[in-house]
Amino acid sequence: MFLILNTLYNSISFKTCTVADVETIQQLAEKIWRKHYVEIISMQQIDYMLDKMYDVESLQHQMKNGCEFILELVDEMAVGFISISKKNETELFIHKLYVDTSKHRKGLGKAMLDEALRKNKWAKEERLTVNRQNFKAINFYFKNGFVIESVANFDIGNGFVMNDFVMLKVL
């Protein structure tokens, strides 16, 4: 676990997740997605994506196949998480980065990006996908040095499509 001090909080720390943390990840995802994404995608798509990406088997599969999940703790309470993986010798891919919506604009997302790079000093670039209608997240990534690399659409099943930007940050 890595601990930093922040003037807004007594402490911010990070914990590399194990299978024992799956329930915490699920609870955070439920809370964040149902609050943040209702203005971006339908409730049916939210339900589908939560079921598809955050059920126990899916999270365990992701963890066993190269995705590292890191919980962000503020004053020992989980407030967000990031999921990352090494795509090749230079690219760190960010699969997920979520912070409790009540904690937005307090430096916690940036702290998670910094933690991912601290643990992966070899990375020369970071890449991610973000919904093209998720303006808050897109602006957050712009502010943190990412640029739009391309536009991509992903069929995720059940009649749903993710309409994303692929964003890149060269380090």
pLDDT, tens digit, for every residue of 70-118? 999 999 999 999 999 999 999 999 999 999 999 999 999 999 999 999 9
Q: What mean pLDDT is reported for the chain?
A: 94
pLDDT at position 9: 66
For residues 36-63, average pLDDT: 95
CATH 3.90.870.10 fits 2-170, yes or no: no
Examine the pLDDT at 2 and tell me if it is beyond 70: no
Model confidence at 15, in pLDDT bands (50, 70, 90)?
A: very high
Query: Which tens digit of pLDDT belongs to each residue from 132-159?
Result: 999 999 999 999 999 999 999 999 999 9
CA distance 105 to 49: 25
Exposed e or buried b per residue across 86-116, where buried means at least 16 C-beta atoms within 10 angstroms of its C-beta: eeeeeebbbbbbbbbeebbebbbbebbbebb
**Would you list the domain boundaries of the chain?**
2-170
